[in-house]
Amino acid sequence: MMKRSEISEFEIEEKDFKLRLCRKNGETQIIHAAAPLAAAPAAAAAAPAAPTAAAAPVEEKGISMVTSPMVGTFYTAASPESPAFAKVGSKVGADSIVCIIEAMKVMNEIQSEISGTITEILVENGAAVEYGQPLFKVKTA
């Protein structure tokens, strides 16, 4: 995937897992750590707290979640002048685009992957999102 795009570096970190991909001179290097990360406490204390995903939502019968497939910035529309891809009450199919997540200056269209009706948008436009964070509630009937 990195060879097909202009991405030269990618990093994801979640709880006790860190994955970093770097492409230099056409070769991809994979650096990962599965053990708990003992990052420098001073650096962590100096950095502002990153927004975290909300606690796991309570399961509701007939309601499924569209979750973020990546870390990035959530946008409801392609531009500030454009209409939102999905609103509360919108009917979506599995291949319907519901939002954009910007990651590393790349705008990624996110598909619902669920058919149903949007009942709630769980993230504010322009907010940072985490991998796996719920974005939309969809009534699947």
pLDDT in tens, 53-85: 444 455 678 899 999 999 999 999 999 899 999
User: For the structural domain made of 63-139, what CATH number should be given?
Assistant: 2.40.50.100
Q: How far apart are alpha carbons 44 and 80 in whole angstroms?
A: 34
Q: How far apart are CA 128 and CA 67, in angstroms?
A: 13
Q: For the chain, which residues make up each domain, given as ranges?
A: 9-45, 63-139
* Cβ-based neighbour number of residue 70 at 10 Å: 18
* DSSP letter assigned to residue 29: E
The larger pLDDT score, comparing residue 8 to residue 94, is at 94
Sheet holding 106-111, edge to edge: 106-111, 97-103, 72-75, 128-129
- Beta strand pairing call for 134-139 and 63-67: antiparallel
pLDDT digits (tens, 9 = 90+) for 32-45: 444 444 444 444 44
pTM of the model: 0.58
